[in-house]
Amino acid sequence: MELELDPEHVAWSRRLWESLNEGGEWTIPRSGAKFRKQGDQLLHVGGVSTEALFDAIQVKHHFAAFGVEVIRGPQETTVVSDDSPLPIDSTQREAGWNE
């Protein structure tokens, strides 16, 4: 997917990266896409909606612009009903995320 990057968004992303402590988490409020800083990578660890996956792809491209790799991390589970968890990773696979 080819995205046109806004330099202001890349700069904002860099400032966010620099402000996160090791293990620090960031969630995009509108979509629920959740990320965790681990070493020199940003792990996408949650978010099942179409918006969350779209946001994760946007984040991946903006952070890559300054050398931070965004990868799929260990996924949290969203509970669909009291006894039926829905794994997030199958949704991400369909959206084109690599294993």
28-82 pLDDT, tens digit per residue, is 998 999 999 999 999 999 887 889 888 999 999 999 999 999 998 876 655 444 4
Residue 60: its pLDDT value, please? 94
Residue 77: its pLDDT value, please? 55
Instruction: Parse the chain into domains and list their residue ranges.
Output: 7-94
Q: Higher-confidence residue: 71 or 4?
A: 71
Q: Are 27 and 56 in contact (CB under 8 A)?
A: no
pTM attached to this predicted model: 0.73
> To 5 degrees, how large is the angle CA 54–CA 58–CA 61?
140
Q: Are 99 and 41 in contact (CB under 8 A)?
A: no
Give the HSE-up count for residue 35: Cα atoms under 13 Å, Cβ half-sphere: 28
Q: Are 69 and 44 in contact (CB under 8 A)?
A: no
Residue 90: its pLDDT value, please? 54
